[in-house]
């Protein structure tokens, strides 16, 4: 009987501990990975729950452009890009060094759907580069492999003289 009581206390304590852990609010900006974790996880370090205005302000401060991955949870090509493209070493190195990287869920009414409407995003994924002055310098619709994404971004930066 004593073992059952101890086991019950351990389970109850674990449940209380896990329920008290904080989760990001809708307005809290969450960076998927710290710079140290980005190398360990080998992927683009995206900000989530970040408004377009906040991303543009951060880009101004860091003298960078903004890369936005407009996605949806139900989008199979979006999941393929997350798994196969954003984890490519050439891709994550290039994007982490040059851009403020933001993921925007088009079904998220607090942030993503507003930005998607502003930039007429109608297909997923839509990949955009925006300069701090809100000018679109690249808008790619649909799946891009690692080489295709890198070439599109490099070409857009060259055209915009960045």
End-to-end CA distance of the chain: 71
> Cα–Cα distance between 83 and 87 in angstroms, integer?
6
- pLDDT at residue 9, as a whole number: 58
| 75 part of the active site | yes
How many structural domains comprise the chain? 1
- pLDDT at residue 49, as a whole number: 85
Query: pLDDT by residue (tens digit) across 39-62?
Result: 446 899 999 889 999 999 999 999
> Cα–Cα distance between 55 and 47 in angstroms, integer?
9
Classify residue 75: in a domain, yes or no: yes
| 20 part of the active site | no
Query: pLDDT by residue (tens digit) across 72-109?
Result: 999 999 999 999 999 999 999 999 999 999 999 999 88
Catalytic residue among 38, 55, 78, 130: 78
Task: Return the ∠ at Cα 83 (arms to 81 and 87), rounded to 5°.
Answer: 90
Classify residue 18: in a domain, yes or no: no
Classify residue 2: in a domain, yes or no: no
Classify residue 22: in a domain, yes or no: no
Classify residue 1: in a domain, yes or no: no
> Cα–Cα distance between 59 and 47 in angstroms, integer?
12
pTM metric for this prediction: 0.75
Nearest alpha-carbon partner for 131 in 154, 162, 95: 162
What is the rounded average pLDDT for all residues in the chain? 82
Classify residue 76: in a domain, yes or no: yes
Classify residue 102: in a domain, yes or no: yes
User: Can you tell me the mean pLDDT for 106-118?
Assistant: 88
Classify residue 155: in a domain, yes or no: yes
> Cα–Cα distance between 150 and 5 in angstroms, integer?
59
Confidence of residue 15 (pLDDT cuts 50, 70, 90): very low
The domain in which residue 58 lies consists of 28-159
Catalytic residue among 75, 85, 127, 153: 75
3 state DSSP class of 116: helix
- pLDDT at residue 71, as a whole number: 96
For residue 23, pLDDT over 50 is answered with no
Query: Exposed e or buried b for every residue in 13-43, given b needs 16+ CB within 10 A?
Result: eeeeeeeeeeeeeeeebeeebeeeebeeeeb
* CATH value at residue 61: 3.40.30.10
């Amino acid at each position: 009987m004593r073992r059952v009581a101890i086991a019950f206390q351990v389970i109850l304590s674990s449940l209380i501990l896990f329920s008290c852990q904080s989760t990001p609010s809708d307005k809290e900006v969450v960076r998927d990975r710290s710079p140290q974790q980005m190398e360990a996880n080998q992927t683009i370090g995206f900000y989530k729950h970040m408004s377009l205005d906040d991303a543009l302000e951060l880009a101004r401060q860091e003298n960078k452009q903004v890369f936005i991955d407009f996605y949806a949870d139900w989008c199979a090509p979006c999941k393929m890009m997350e798994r196969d493209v954003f984890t490519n070493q050439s891709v994550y190195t290039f994007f982490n060094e040059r851009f403020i990287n933001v993921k925007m869920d088009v079904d998220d009414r607090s942030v993503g759907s507003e930005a998607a409407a502003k930039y007429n995003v109608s297909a997923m994924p839509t990949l955009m580069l925006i300069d701090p002055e809100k000018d679109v310098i690249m808008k790619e619709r649909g799946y891009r492999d690692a080489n295709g994404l890198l070439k599109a971004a490099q070409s857009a930066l060259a055209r915009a003289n960045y």
